[in-house]
Structure 1
Amino acid sequence: MQIPALIMPKIPNFNKPMWLLHTLFFLILCRAALTLAKSDTSNQSQQQIGSNYALKGKLIFAHVLYRHGDRTPIEPYPTDPWKKREYWPVGWGELTNIGKQQHYELGKWLRRRYDSLLNLTYSEDEVYIRSTDVDRTLASAMSNLAGLYPPVGNEVWNKDIAWQPIPVHTIPERIDKELAGKAPCAAYDYARSVVLNSSEFQKLNQRFQYLYDYLTKYSGRKVDTLEAVQRMNNTFFIEALYNRTLPDWAKKVYPSADMTYIADFAFSIGTYTRRMARLKIGPLIKEMLHRFADKARGSLKPNRSVWIYSAHDTTVANVLNALKLYNLKSPGYTACVLFELRLDENNHPFVSIFYKNTSAEPALLSIPDCGVACPLAKTFEIYKDILPVNWEQECKLSTMMMTYDEANIGMAMVILGSIICAMLVLSYIFLIYYRRRRYSTYAYAQMA
């Protein structure tokens, strides 16, 4: 009688090259996926170098983008005790005398900063001023110019008025894709709706639902979004600034950490994804960079030295966020972004960006992956993803749907990385199981 002899099952050899290859591949893919996700979600940082950093090179051109000055509330809420017009010096959303003075002082500051670029007398071939088609921004630009170009010599047309009229250009908001950013764009509207309906924003809405309900109950207005809270916060801010006593219910939530956070965060929503930044503020940034290029090669006509934009807090925040420089602090009145073009010792152009918010002097910002003095060509390369090639064509919804679906690219990368890791783990487990089963099939053998 033959007796089967027991043979021990063979254990897979974990020192074999195949196992090492699978393990290495697994680790590399996991690392790559997590790194990609991390890099996409780190765009909200701002590096400030300070105002005393000395930049070498010759200044040849400057773009100036600023927010308007002090204003009244745009729209009081239904139960607002200060909603009557007679309580305020000017109409709703209009520039106040304080705002005029703020911009007059900023104009004098700009004169000192760019005295090497500007003559004492105004010339349309030297400077150009563009404003959004809104009363407070137009009035801010004119007040700013009063400080920038006080009349001298033959410019004095009335000895009793130390002021001269200087043109401020504008176009209707409905067709302004660069500065107002309100020209119709179906692709942007879609991308924005995807973001607002994403799981990330739904969690934020759940987190602040108590505040939505509270403000809705007492203000008499439906408040159900982060931006609606930001608008309420702004009204409270202005009323407190003008010593208008807030209702007791308002004092319980203003100022508070949550309302401040929402007010600051809300300014990033308009350019939350790179696709949104490309469609919302990309045309303006592209216009400035191309003007820099024309100036550097001597083809700018007229050969101006300063270009000024008068706009809003949303404009300032959108530009900073698109450039990955927004520090999650609401732009204050007369907040100012300065884009400066210089030539180095070899006549190569480079770009520097300054931000003047609440401080007396601007902070020099560090352009991501480039620094405080970024070669113009590299600046184009760094921000290529937000410079539209054909804005009108890209705004068509069909084009956007074929090329982008950015609810939250950072979260998508995390999910993708997790899926890849899970699949590799499962394949690795299956590989071990398969080998064990294969060897166990021959675990017993008949002996002669």
Structure 2
Amino acid sequence: MILSAFFVILLHTLCIRSQQEFQDAKLIFAHVLYRHGDRTPIDPYPKDPWKDPSHWTTGWGQLTNAGKHRHLELGRWLRNRYHNLLGGTYTNNEIYVRSTDVDRTLMSAESNLAGLYPPNGSDVWDSAIQWQPIPVHTSPEILDEVLAAKKPCPAYDNALRKYKDSDEFQQYNKSLEPVYQYVSTHSGKKVNTPTAAQNLYSCLHIEALNNFTLPDWTKQVYPQPLSSISARSFATKTYTPQLARLKTGPLVKEILQRFQDKANKKLKPDRKLWIYSAHDITVANLLNTLRLFELHNPPFASCVLLELRQSAHYDEPYISIYYKNTTDEPEPMNIPSCGPRCPLSQMFKIYQDILPDNWPRECQVPFLSLTYVEADMRSSTGLIGIIFLTTMAILLLLLVLMAYRRRRSGYHNDQWYLRIDG
């Protein structure tokens, strides 16, 4: 009994000390990555009773008024959380906002900033509106390997195909065939992969959120099992260390390197907040790459907070990661082998396997390697490319052999040279 009481007191003391150390720590920098706000369906299914555009005033895949307001509120929440970090007036040296090159993420970022930086004082430029323009930076998706993660990477495509061909994935996919057959018949859309099921679930979920009555047949599959299939699908793109390294490694590396620059006082400009406006798959990929993802469907405006603090109790700054799902308060995450507060240098060690040394080079596939053939033989385009490259290689080899034979035989022909007469 005495021993048990001792351990209770010890644990209580450690908790108080840990809380005190956290309160004494100074927040010096933060990264925020969030999903856009509520949107309309991207691709309604053929038998969808709500597929007529007249039911949706903003077009397919666009931010709704509810989505704008949700991000306005998130911006106000971020203002409250980071009020000691940010000044009351916007300055480009304090914050940087980056979005994927998609309407709904760009508009979400702008709505969020309206809540984060409401104009006051000299920032009020028109008394009729409580808003001020703040830059949101983007890059074409095809060129963006960091946030959109859609820049071509043959090695990633190869690794993803190999995983989808694995016994594990094939057995899982086969187990879903009864669901696939049922929803394909009733929706009029062929569903035979987790991704296709995820797309259908997303459409039904949005219609339900907007109070549209779903067809009776959906009661057999919505929300379950479609919700679970969709959640499992979110883990696919970063399921292995190699997939995570090539898909989300550049983003994690950028975040950690920026933390390092901040700690070493080398961040120019010396900003305090970096915001990424992206998608549910981006949220899931980041959490899964950090080995923090619990299977679920990231809701609208869900966000990941990565915060850098300096404390007198630690020799170096440490990182804490939080996930704000649907609750007002974010959930602290336990970083693998480190806990809720992890020294910056330890973060580089923990995630060494998913930080690419040279992403462009790692994305390349060895010329005519077996893995390249395995990855591309399934498509006619890939097969034509292989035939073309093989033919060119053979022709080049023949030219080299012909030149070598001519040199060995002492053969000389003036026709090989272009004469330039003075």
User: Shorter-chain TM-score: which interval?
Assistant: 0.7 to 0.9
Query: What residue is the counterpart of 2:103 in the other structure?
Result: 135
In 1, Cα distance between equivalents of 2:187 and 2:327: 34
| Correspondences of 1:69-88 after superposition (within 5 Å) | 69-88=37-56
In 2, Cα distance between equivalents of 1:53 and 1:394: 43
In 1, Cα distance between equivalents of 2:321 and 2:368: 31
Matched residues, percent identical?
Answer: 56
Does 1:287 pair with 2:254?
Answer: yes
C-alpha contact (below 8 Å) 1:187/1:400 kept by paired residues? no
In 2, Cα distance between equivalents of 1:189 and 1:150: 43
Query: What residue is the counterpart of 1:220 in the other structure?
Result: 188
State the Cα deviation string for residues 71-103 of structure 1 (Å, max 9, x = none).
Answer: 110110111111110011311111111011100
Query: What residue is the counterpart of 1:44 in the other structure?
Result: none
Question: Structure 1 residue aligned with 2:132, among 164, 167, 171?
Answer: 164
Does 1:178 pair with 2:112?
Answer: no
Report SS of the residue matched to 1:174: helix
Shift of 1:255: 1.9
In 2, Cα distance between equivalents of 1:398 and 1:223: 34
In 2, Cα distance between equivalents of 1:73 and 1:184: 26
In 2, Cα distance between equivalents of 1:375 and 1:358: 28
Aligned CA distance change for structure 1 residues 82 and 354 (closer, same or farther; 3 Å): same
Shift of 1:402: 9.5
Shift of 1:268: 0.3
Query: What residue is the counterpart of 2:165 in the other structure?
Result: 197
In 2, Cα distance between equivalents of 1:120 and 1:338: 21
Query: What residue is the counterpart of 2:237 in the other structure?
Result: 270
Aligned CA distance change for structure 1 residues 401 and 313 (closer, same or farther; 3 Å): farther
In 2, Cα distance between equivalents of 1:216 and 1:225: 11
| Correspondences of 1:32-431 after superposition (within 5 Å) | 55=22, 56-256=24-224, 258-345=225-312, 346=314, 348-398=316-366
| Structure label with greater radius of gyration | 1
C-alpha contact (below 8 Å) 2:158/2:371 kept by paired residues? no
Shift of 1:125: 0.4
Shift of 1:252: 2.1
Report SS of the residue matched to 2:206: helix
In 2, Cα distance between equivalents of 1:191 and 1:143: 37
Query: What residue is the counterpart of 1:43 in the other structure?
Result: none
Shift of 1:221: 1.5
Gaps of 5+ in 1: 1-48, 408-448
Q: What is the TM-score with the length of structure 2 in the denominator?
A: 0.81
In 1, Cα distance between equivalents of 2:45 and 2:133: 37
C-alpha contact (below 8 Å) 2:37/2:67 kept by paired residues? yes
Shift of 1:251: 2.3
CA RMSD, Structure 1 to Structure 2 (Å) = 2.0
User: Which amino acid letter does the alignment assign opposite residue 185 of structure 1?
Assistant: C
Aligned CA distance change for structure 1 residues 106 and 179 (closer, same or farther; 3 Å): same
C-alpha contact (below 8 Å) 1:133/1:173 kept by paired residues? yes
RCO higher in 1 or 2 (8 Å CA, sep ≥ 6)? 1
Shift of 1:336: 0.6
C-alpha contact (below 8 Å) 2:227/2:297 kept by paired residues? no
Query: What residue is the counterpart of 1:25 in the other structure?
Result: none
C-alpha contact (below 8 Å) 2:322/2:332 kept by paired residues? yes
In 2, Cα distance between equivalents of 1:242 and 1:398: 49
Aligned CA distance change for structure 1 residues 291 and 245 (closer, same or farther; 3 Å): same
C-alpha contact (below 8 Å) 1:355/1:364 kept by paired residues? yes
Shift of 1:397: 1.6
Shift of 1:160: 0.7
State the Cα deviation string for residues 207-244 of structure 1 (Å, max 9, x = none).
Answer: 11011111222222111101110110111111111121
